[in-house]
A and B are shown apart, each in its own frame.
Chain A
Amino acid sequence: MFRRLDDARPEVTFDFEGRPVTARAGESVAAALLAAGLRGFRATAVSGTVRAPWCMMGVCFDCLMEIDGVGSRQACLVPIAEGMQVRRQRGAKDLP
């Protein structure tokens, strides 16, 4: 659905639920995963409805993911980094 306008930036590889995904330096986690074709980013806390990023600017909270072991992070505001561990969040955040 999404196509990169500029592929000249250096590649970054991160881990999405156990599989390596290639992104470009400077992208947010949300942008990297949208470019990789991910549709459902999370399931809501109450009804379990599947959601995806909408505003891409930190307002709608529909891109919440577990990033490097921390739940409910806004994937659209977190820059992707080499080796980052990203998982979808299903339902409300669970605190260890």
Chain B
Amino acid sequence: MSAYDLIVIGGGIVGGAVAYGAARLGAAVALVDEGDIAFRAARGNFGLVWVQSKGAGMPAYAHWTQRSADLWPELAAALAAGTGVDVALKQQGGLAFCFSEDEMEQRAAFNERMHNESGGIGTRMIDRAELRAMVPRIGDAVVGASYCPRDGHANPLKLLRALHDALARAGGAYLPGRTVDTIEHDGGFVVRSGAERLVARKLVIAAGLGSRKLAPMVGLDMPVSPLKGQIVVTERLRPFLDHATHSVRQTEEGSVMLGDSQEDVGYDIRTTTPVMRDIAARNLKSFPFLRDANVVRVWAALRVMTPDGHPIYEQSRTHPGAFAATCHSGVTLAGAHAMALAPAILAGELPPGFDAFTAGRFHVPAA
């Protein structure tokens, strides 16, 4: 039995990006994935590469998100060249719609705060006239929007498939159908799944909601919990929306995805009529003509949320070489995970300024 340079536990978009990023640098990588009993947030993703509102209150997260958006074209190009899969990346800007002057003011104040905390990235409020010039079919109820030129979107399922494929082509091993039972440290990391025993010098836990249980095995803390989101998908329509928005996006094939629901209901992935009705009603205010679109699919999935909604990246103090990586923005951060985080992990040290992402922030004694 040979030892890997790196085992990544969790074959979703986060783990897949880290594993691919390491394998493309020549590391011997195993990506250990659970079976269909996993919650698989990566299969339910909305597909935004969203910058404008990420990292309020945590500049390190805002900057990391910006870096990921900057690295995304390189990732998309590498995946296309390596696998032939076009992940349909579009970064022509993103819009957060406002439905009243009050919402416009609140959003402007939020943008101002982001600017003051983390620096300017070109986010600005646009009025209805400018919005109509960008999106001619916008509904009358939309007063204006917050526009960020660095936002975008991609096809999350193609991204997942391309990451797995690119990993294999770079010599990595994708090992599905394995629930990790234990992780021990004995010179290297010994990962046991049933009767199987995998060994590596380094380890990344990127197992989404499963991380909570695995992290303590190597002295890490990943207190993540589920936040349900439901998505409604229409039939393919003629293109009317190029931009990414926070709650509706049109895919390259023409399907319209409607979403942005949030429910704190535990490990429940059932779709429910009242929430889907709300999603439809909210998005019909933005695009009333969608009332005549046929709905062809709905699903629910669980976001992987930390207590403050920001990512956790941390190297274990008690088990150096073991890393935690979790976030709820796997698509947005895929560029940085593959192109910046993976090299840092191989080098044995997280990027400068990453102390902000450690789980210790959840254990500050109350004043």
- What CA separation (Å) do A45 and B290 show in the bound complex? 17
Is A92 part of the contact surface with B, judged by Cβ < 8 Å? Answer: yes
Is B186 part of the contact surface with A, judged by Cβ < 8 Å? Answer: no
In the complex, per-residue mask of B338-364: 1 if CB is within 8 Å of any chain A CB, else 0? 000000000000000000000000000
A92: chain B residues within 8 A (beta carbon): 235-238, 254
Query: Cβ of B236 and Cβ of A45 under 8 Å apart?
Result: yes
Is A46 part of the contact surface with B, judged by Cβ < 8 Å? Answer: yes
> A70's closest neighbor in chain B, by CB?
B292
B interface, over-half SS: loop
Query: Cβ of A94 and Cβ of B294 under 8 Å apart?
Result: no
Chain A interfacial residues counted at CB < 8 A: 10
> B253's closest neighbor in chain A, by CB?
A46
Is A93 part of the contact surface with B, judged by Cβ < 8 Å? Answer: yes
Is B267 part of the contact surface with A, judged by Cβ < 8 Å? Answer: no
Query: Cβ of B289 and Cβ of A96 under 8 Å apart?
Result: yes
Query: Cβ of A94 and Cβ of B236 under 8 Å apart?
Result: no
- What CA separation (Å) do A46 and B236 show in the bound complex? 9
CB A73 to nearest CB in B, in angstroms, measures 9
Is A40 part of the contact surface with B, judged by Cβ < 8 Å? Answer: no
- Most chain B CB within 10 A, of A45, A94, A95, A96, is at A95
- 8 Å CB contact of A72 from B253, B289, B290, B294: B294
Query: Cβ of A72 and Cβ of B235 under 8 Å apart?
Result: yes
- What CA separation (Å) do A46 and B289 show in the bound complex? 21
Query: Cβ of B237 and Cβ of A95 under 8 Å apart?
Result: yes
Is B129 part of the contact surface with A, judged by Cβ < 8 Å? Answer: no
- Most chain A CB within 10 A, of B235, B290, B293, is at B235
A20: chain B residues within 8 A (beta carbon): none
Query: Cβ of B253 and Cβ of A95 under 8 Å apart?
Result: no
Is A58 part of the contact surface with B, judged by Cβ < 8 Å? Answer: no
Is A79 part of the contact surface with B, judged by Cβ < 8 Å? Answer: no
Query: Cβ of B289 and Cβ of A93 under 8 Å apart?
Result: no
Report the contact-size class of chain B (Cβ under 8 Å from the partner).
10 to 19
> A71's closest neighbor in chain B, by CB?
B292
Query: Cβ of B253 and Cβ of A93 under 8 Å apart?
Result: no
Query: Cβ of B237 and Cβ of A94 under 8 Å apart?
Result: yes
In the complex, per-residue mask of A78-90: 1 if CB is within 8 Å of any chain B CB, else 0? 0000000000000
Interface residues of A in 18-59 (CB under 8 A from B): 45-46
CB B313 to nearest CB in A, in angstroms, measures 38
Query: Cβ of B253 and Cβ of A94 under 8 Å apart?
Result: no
- 8 Å CB contact of A46 from B235, B254, B292: B254
Query: Cβ of A95 and Cβ of B293 under 8 Å apart?
Result: yes
CB A9 to nearest CB in B, in angstroms, measures 31
B238: chain A residues within 8 A (beta carbon): 91-95
CB B252 to nearest CB in A, in angstroms, measures 8
A96: chain B residues within 8 A (beta carbon): 289
- What CA separation (Å) do A93 and B293 show in the bound complex? 8
- What CA separation (Å) do A45 and B293 show in the bound complex? 14
CB A76 to nearest CB in B, in angstroms, measures 15
Query: Cβ of B235 and Cβ of A95 under 8 Å apart?
Result: no
Assuming the contacts A46-B254, A72-B294, asked whether A95 and B289 have C-beta atoms less than 8 A apart, the reply is yes
B237: chain A residues within 8 A (beta carbon): 92-95
Query: Cβ of A93 and Cβ of B290 under 8 Å apart?
Result: no
- What CA separation (Å) do A70 and B254 show in the bound complex? 18
Assuming the contacts A91-B238, A92-B237, A93-B238, asked whether A45 and B254 have C-beta atoms less than 8 A apart, the reply is yes
B253: chain A residues within 8 A (beta carbon): 45-46
A45: chain B residues within 8 A (beta carbon): 236, 253-254
- What CA separation (Å) do A95 and B30 show in the bound complex? 47
Query: Cβ of A95 and Cβ of B292 under 8 Å apart?
Result: yes
Interface residues of B in 251-285 (CB under 8 A from A): 253-254
Query: Cβ of A95 and Cβ of B254 under 8 Å apart?
Result: no
CB B284 to nearest CB in A, in angstroms, measures 12
CB A43 to nearest CB in B, in angstroms, measures 12
In the complex, per-residue mask of B215-254: 1 if CB is within 8 Å of any chain A CB, else 0? 0000000000000000000011110000000000000011
> B293's closest neighbor in chain A, by CB?
A95
- What CA separation (Å) do A83 and B235 show in the bound complex? 27
- Complex A-B, nearest 3 residue pairs according to Cβ-Cβ distance, in ascending order: A45-B236, A92-B254, A92-B236
**Can you list 9 A-B contacts with CB-CB less than 8 angstroms, sorted by A residue number?**
A45-B236, A46-B236, A72-B235, A91-B238, A92-B237, A93-B235, A93-B236, A93-B293, A94-B237
